[in-house]
Structure 1
Amino acid sequence: MHRRHLLRAVAGTAALSGVAALATRDGDARPTAPGSGEAGDATTASGDSTATPSGTPTPTPTEAVATPTSDYEPIGSVAVEGATEAVLTPEGETAFVAVGDGFAVLDLRDPANPTVVASERDISPPGTTRRMGGVRDVKYDDGRLLVGGPASYDPDSFYGVALFDVSDPTAPAFLRAYETAYPVHNCDLAGEYAYLTRSDREANPLLVVDLGREEPREVARWSVLDRDPVWESVPLQLRTLHDVFVRDGFAYLAYWDAGTWILDVSDPAEPAYVADVRERDPETLAELDGLAVARESSEPPGNDHYAATDPDSSLLAVGKESWNSNFGKEGTTPGPDDPGGPSGIAIYDIADPRSPQHLSTIEPPPTADTNINGVRTTAHNFELAAGHLYSSWYRGGVAVHDLTEPAEPERVRYFRRSSTTNFWTARLTAPGGAVVAASFEDPSDLDAPARVYTFPDVARATPTPTSGSTDATVAPTDPGGRPATEDDGGGEGTDDDRPETSDAVATESATAGDGPGFGPAAALAGLGIGAWRLLGGEESDEEGG
């Protein structure tokens, strides 16, 4: 937790302004084959995280899309047919990957050689002859894995979730399943409860299911219509619940153009509204019809696609997924003067979750073709961990941003190969370990299997015993645990050519007293939302957002 956030939470004096909202829909449907617009790879390999294509002329589709980066490269990869979302165990040694008809298990103990050690495909829960399909999401909690699907309507698939015991990752064991009447685009698992996006094309609610019993049952559901019936007049595709993230008794719901909503789920059977952040009001959205609705659902503003917090719940990141609705066609975006996306990731201060405060927005990598069938570089799934944001941007690559100053995020690592990779997610194994990113297709060879890549994490300050003393000094190490040298800056080059954005840590400045993860503030890093509750936040009737 950042010290300023801690003091604000403990003092209870946060005066954060309300923020308008965000939203969600089925934006994760596998993109169709890229158009003929790509002539190569494209964008800067610099550390400039402020560049944005928004509002700038769009190059013709025959121009190069992006210049591949060269200073940050994978350290390993493995083919995993159908790979999309990936989640990791807390120690970062195992990854579980959604693969369409089930999941695969990866051994990451040697990040340079990720290995598939098990898989569960063609999952057919007891009591049905149908099998799970369209699986695009898996979630892990305390030795169990939740598998949800299908991501969109598929009459031949089993609709719902399946729970597995993965305490031995090499031998997953089916526990139980819960069947729904509608697709489950995304889900989360917290304790004995599953949180599902119920795509019913009506209320599109969050569904809470108790999986801790032999016969799982629904215990609650909640939608934006429960908060305000005016949302019922908004076209369905503008208020689809796309994703849900649960941490520390709070659920964060990405509701596409209806915004991102925060619920108190400390009692899973009684979800309670806390706040929402959104950019459009329901009255404005309700006035749209026809092509205007299609355009609104695919272009900024809005399009809240994925939301997650940092480990101490002091920061909230909201990713927005967008692209040009229908390039050049009458009634939609006219073309180069209005690119219509892509979108980035907004960072909010949620030390007081009732009143989120926008701090910054990380802009997306540029693209020469903003169309839905073009070269997508919009935000996709990500993770906030160890003071950094690990993000995927479809064909825009994988990025790592330092959030030491969340109002001024600094991009410190970046990989892009638009012609051969299309990234779905990015996750951290452990600080100083590896970044795991799944590329679900090779645009240059659509018959090639998906691949899961590993990259080195940023250099980390770690305590090193000093000879003849019990005190610890701190030296930066590379992902392999070796002390970093001037010629080993985590892929940033030598001391002579290392960019100014290098995050190599100077030994003399990274002391045990002021280095990241040390000092009295770190000892209290578990507060955040917990402090808000202790200060009476749960009992307040004040409404935020």
Structure 2
Amino acid sequence: MVRAVLRRSPNRRRVGAAAFSAAATLLAATVLVVPGAAAASTEDSPPEELSTPAVVEQLPQDLQDTISHSDNIRPLATLPKQPPFDNTGSFGTDIAFQGKYAYVGNYDGFVVYDIRNPRKPTVASQVICPGGQGDVSVSGDLLYFSVDYPRSNNSCDSEPSTAADPDAWEGIRVFDISDPTRPAYVTDVATDCGSHTHTLVPDHDGEADYLYISSYSPSANFPNCAPPHDKISIVKVPLADPASTELVAEPVLFPEGGNPGPPEGARATTGCHDITVYPEKDLAAGACMGDGILLDITDREAPVVTEQVRDDVNFAFWHSATFNNEGTKVVFTDELGGGGAATCNAEIGETRGANGIYDITGSDADPSLEFRSYFKIPRHQGDTENCVAHNGSLIPTRNGDYMVQAWYQGGISVWDFTDSENPEEIGYFDREAFDSENLLTAGSWSAYYYNGYIYSSGIQEGLDVLEINDRRVNDAKRVQFDEFNPQTQPSYQR
């Protein structure tokens, strides 16, 4: 058997409460932590179908529905959203993993799931700290949380505000998760236009984390989010003293303005939506509205754009990126309709709202992105099912390039892009429409492979745990990570 080799930054430090300042203690008092021990439903106790009206304030605890799936995928557990997140406004979002815990972002805070038994996950704690959209990553004793909705101040008990208010706050929050059942607020940093997403980038020496903050859509009426906003924000977290986290750089990635938008282009670039990094290779891929880019991140505080591509025919919004293990390919996603539209149908077709597969050719100093093909799920969805390519990760196999990916109400797809020009789906998991009469935002926001299982964060549905049994990917179970942030891609031995 080939033993998995997990290559990580050396000398990663775990930080304890003693490293936090008195200010952190004051901030922690504003955090409302809701203990939780709710257990998941399992395949042995299947749910009943739920019919949801157009406007829902609370979601029933027995949220269940009809599920279809391929023969090689088996649903193991479903754990619906728990109070106070059991409503249609508390969207479940991204996932980060550490040991036996999954940290799931939410527009109103985040949830810590105990996944030591993937067939019976439980809620370890819930943190109420609104801000949207709650993108999360974890590093040792720290959790980073993106706030993209203006708030009246930086605390967890702040009120909604507006970007037109010069005193409004949005940016990145830092929490202490040394005790996952009692997360505590450490500090925060305001960033221009907030933090729609962020990407954890460990430094080369294991002394600090960098956070690449992506945000977009500036306006002349927004004092803290003015155009042109052709940049990202870089926040540095000293691991020995996380309370001293600070903004250290705001590199301009598009000095010439990026995609100009109509009538010359498809979508104007005014910032980035998401960045995926491959730290071992000092490489990053940015999905930046109207542009897809490669970056050299050797100097963590001064990333350099080395390649830039556009697709003004089929891509509406460059949303996210995933490398293959060798770092010789990038899968970019197109979030046509912003995640709220029904785009997985015959009318939209097979190339819009899809993935674009690019090979990386040329040299490290002068790389090129060469388009090879599109991939979109082959199952048409209904008019009340928002569906488009969304967040996923590699399955760490010995042979080939395989990925699991969320498609909102299109469900979860496992697909093969080993042949860049001929990708194909090899498995799926798909629920019926959340509401058969009305188009409501629901479905899988993120679907990731972690330590032998697939975990999905449902916008409305809560946490799903799946298992795939397929000879092409079964060897991936040998790879065990102790920490996994999907937008910070690790390297594994083939």
TM-score, normalised via structure 2 length: 0.63
Where does 1:55-70 land on structure 2 (aligned, <5 Å)? 68-69=68-69
Structure 1 residue 244 corresponds to structure 2 residue 251: no
Q: Any idea what the Cα deviations from partners look like across 1:478-532, whole Å, max 9, x if unmatched? A: 9799xxxxxxxxxxxxxxxxxxxxxxxxxxxxxxxxxxxxxxxxxx9679xxxxx
Q: Higher helix fraction: Structure 1 or Structure 2? A: 1
Residues 338, 312 of structure 1: alpha-carbon distance in 2 compared, 3 angstrom cutoff: closer
Please state how far the C-alpha of 1:275 moved relative to its aligned partner.
Answer: 0.7
| Partner residue, 1:100 | 107
| Partner residue, 1:203 | 228
Determine if contact 1:300/1:340 at 8 Å carries over to the other structure. no
Where does 1:446-457 land on structure 2 (aligned, <5 Å)? 450-457=461-468
| Partner residue, 1:176 | 187
Determine if contact 1:399/1:411 at 8 Å carries over to the other structure. yes
- 1:423 paired residue among 444, 468, 480: 444
Q: Any idea what the Cα deviations from partners look like across 1:242-272, whole Å, max 9, x if unmatched? A: 112222133322112x221122222122221
Identical residues among aligned pairs (%) = 23
Structure 1 residue identity aligned to 2:118? P
Please state how far the C-alpha of 1:416 moved relative to its aligned partner.
Answer: 0.9
Structure whose CA Rg is larger: 1
Q: For residues 223 and 94 of structure 1, what CA distance do their matches in structure 2 show? A: 36
Q: For residues 316 and 34 of structure 1, what CA distance do their matches in structure 2 show? A: 40
| Partner residue, 2:247 | 218
Q: For residues 279 and 224 of structure 1, what CA distance do their matches in structure 2 show? A: 18
| Partner residue, 2:210 | 193
- 2:300 paired residue among 258, 268, 279: 268
Structure 2 residue identity aligned to 1:440? I
Q: Higher strand fraction: Structure 1 or Structure 2? A: 2
SS in 1 for 2:368: coil
Residues 413, 364 of structure 1: alpha-carbon distance in 2 compared, 3 angstrom cutoff: closer
| Partner residue, 2:427 | 413
Structure 2 residue identity aligned to 1:413? G
Q: Structure 1: which 5+ residue stretches go unaligned?
A: 1-32, 37-65, 123-131, 281-298, 328-332, 442-449, 463-475, 482-523, 528-545
Task: Tell me the matched-pair count.
Answer: 362
Residues 172, 426 of structure 1: alpha-carbon distance in 2 compared, 3 angstrom cutoff: same
Structure 1 residue 346 corresponds to structure 2 residue 353: no
Residues 78, 206 of structure 1: alpha-carbon distance in 2 compared, 3 angstrom cutoff: same
| Partner residue, 1:163 | 174
Determine if contact 2:189/2:247 at 8 Å carries over to the other structure. no
Which protein has greater RCO, CA pairs closer than 8 Å, 6+ apart? Answer: 1
| Partner residue, 2:137 | 139
Is the deviation greater in 154-163 or in 229-238?
Answer: 229-238
| Partner residue, 1:19 | none
Please state how far the C-alpha of 1:176 moved relative to its aligned partner.
Answer: 2.0
Q: Structure 2: which 5+ residue stretches go unaligned?
A: 1-51, 56-65, 152-159, 163-167, 203-208, 220-226, 435-441, 480-490
Q: For residues 360 and 476 of structure 2, what CA distance do their matches in structure 1 show? A: 32
Q: For residues 454 and 108 of structure 2, what CA distance do their matches in structure 1 show? A: 25
Q: For residues 123 and 372 of structure 2, what CA distance do their matches in structure 1 show? A: 40
SS in 1 for 2:75: coil
Structure 1 residue 314 corresponds to structure 2 residue 332: no
Q: Any idea what the Cα deviations from partners look like across 1:301-331, whole Å, max 9, x if unmatched? A: 342111122344232111111149999xxxx
Q: Any idea what the Cα deviations from partners look like across 1:213-244, whole Å, max 9, x if unmatched? A: 64333222234531x24756879963142112
Residues 383, 339 of structure 1: alpha-carbon distance in 2 compared, 3 angstrom cutoff: closer
Determine if contact 1:362/1:409 at 8 Å carries over to the other structure. yes
Please state how far the C-alpha of 1:178 moved relative to its aligned partner.
Answer: 0.6
Q: For residues 458 and 152 of structure 1, what CA distance do their matches in structure 2 show? A: 44
Q: For residues 132 and 245 of structure 2, what CA distance do their matches in structure 1 show? A: 22
Q: For residues 86 and 118 of structure 1, what CA distance do their matches in structure 2 show? A: 16
Determine if contact 2:188/2:245 at 8 Å carries over to the other structure. yes
Structure 1 residue 439 corresponds to structure 2 residue 452: no
SS in 1 for 2:244: coil
Q: For residues 423 and 230 of structure 1, what CA distance do their matches in structure 2 show? A: 31
Please state how far the C-alpha of 1:399 moved relative to its aligned partner.
Answer: 0.8
Structure 2 residue identity aligned to 1:120? V
Determine if contact 1:100/1:134 at 8 Å carries over to the other structure. yes
Please state how far the C-alpha of 1:376 moved relative to its aligned partner.
Answer: 2.2
Q: For residues 111 and 35 of structure 1, what CA distance do their matches in structure 2 show? A: 33
